[in-house]
Structure 1
Amino acid sequence: MMSMYRLYQRIQRYQHDLQRIPWLSLVGYGLWIVLNGMLVSLFFPAAWRGALVRVLFTLPLILFVAKDLVCFRVHMMRVLTAFHAEVKWSQKLYALVPPGFLAYLRLERAMWCGVYLWLMRRGKPNTDLGERVHYLEKGAYETMTYIVMIVLFFEIPFDVLITSVIAKSPSQTSKLHWVFGLLSVYSFVWLMGDRWHVLGSRYHRLTATHLILTIGPRADGMIPLEAIANCERLHESRREWCRKQGYSLYATRQITPFDAPNVVLTLHHGSDVQLSLLQSVSGGDGPIFLYVDRPDLLITALHVKKSGALAGRCHA
């Protein structure tokens, strides 16, 4: 009986974790499985290759079906709530679509808009509200952007080589050239669109009442200072910190341009801080991991702001 109970607890934990995995991440896992599996299949005998490819395309479908089954009850509750609410029919129809898919479409639109505005040489307007909390001056975001651009450039001859190995006919060669070319263009669009948005944001802002987080379309939101219980330096990985503090990794949120987080914000229990991550709004009171250029200055500024707000309420 004890072993059955432990198995039930483990299944419940897996269901909870699968519910919290974003659809965009799940699609990324599926593409990773397919692409790496297809590269490995090149070293298998030709007789085995067809069966291996079928298995590779089946594994991501299994992930998607499992995600659908786990989220079915939540999805039905959302649909019923929307259809009984006094809202527009367009919003009721949106409830039929998984929120992660709508978030992906919004993120896709933001990236293409970013590329268009970059080509038009238009800058992104900034506001001087509050103190600036920079995250690009010492970070590796711009360096990694240039590295990815170089990799995309050198990927072209590599794609030509791969095409010559796996293509069986001239028509397949032409199709693969089109596929690899479109993938390169698509990657370039996301790279430059994200760069336009992130370089336009450049910093978070700290006001007397809120910590305003902005990293282009990837992250956006306001954290009330009264909801922050503690702000501390992070000297270990996010996973290791969660393991020591007893948090589930999926109960946390991470907001960084590229670098590993170096600050963790612990929220008061029961506070529901809404943040937009990859155009998908999520709430909760779990820890929030940030990367900033000068973490000690942020910790000190938050302490001063919270102390000033507390003193003001006591004086009132």
Structure 2
Amino acid sequence: MNVLRTPDERFEGLADWPFEPHYREVRDADGTSLRIHYVDEGPGAADPILLMHGEPSWSYLYRKIIPPLAAGGHRVVAPDLIGFGRSDKPAARADYTYERHVAWMSAWVTALDLRNITLFCQDWGGLIGLRLVAAFPERFKAVVAANTFLPTGTGSSAGFDQWLAFSQNVPVLAVGALLQAGSVRELTDAEVAAYDAPFPDESYKAGARQFPALVPITPQHPSVAENLEAWKVLEAFDKPFVTAFSDADPVTKGADAPFQARVPGAMGQAHVTLRGGHFLQEDSPAEIAALLDRLAKA
């Protein structure tokens, strides 16, 4: 596996990004060592709040959510998925599979021995994060699912179909511009540049290109069976499970309903609809931080 690593200087002086980098090596089944970057703020002995990003963002998405939670006494951990942010980036699209992503992040969670986790997961952070919940339910104390889903080959939305077609055919995948398009508020030029920072050129974007094609929306997609098994665990998960979807996301609109109907821990919870586009962390950071503070302290 040929692995690219974004130069450190690409991350110098980013707007609103004072966090020291942390790294953990994980080993792929083929023997390749991969470095995962993560933010780790707040008291180290506190129960962790795990913030998982999706496509094509990185932990920068949580820059306005991390500080109030850390100041409130929580340990806040925000990793970059392999292929994104400061984490290593395999160069070939074929190197990325759904199951590899789950295995990489499973190895990371167990290496850090995270326990009593309150999870916030959005987009692919949910497709992977909810698989972590299914694999290690004993490690999680609460879950917030936001603008995400756990598909099992039964179709997709028109919004997702449009995104899939666009992502596979556009000559240049302009990541910062995509974050702007998926947010209601106007990002600054510096914020757009920060989202572009992990990708010096198109060769670093194999993961970002491949992610949309990995979503198991048809019965023929890999990982349908694994997600069906994960749903069985979620259908027995009785710890707090809250949906916090936004009011202006055409990609995941309505995907909160299956979680509310099928996960026991979602029964009786104060589910919320937040202002925002697909990247609701950009539009409602204070509300997300308050929700996580409440759940983690419960």
**Higher helix proportion (structure 1 or 2):** 1
What is the TM-score of this pair, normalised by structure 1?
0.27
Structure index of larger Rg: 1
> With CA pairs under 8 Å and 6+ residues apart, which has the higher RCO, 1 or 2?
2
What is the TM-score of this pair, normalised by structure 2?
0.29
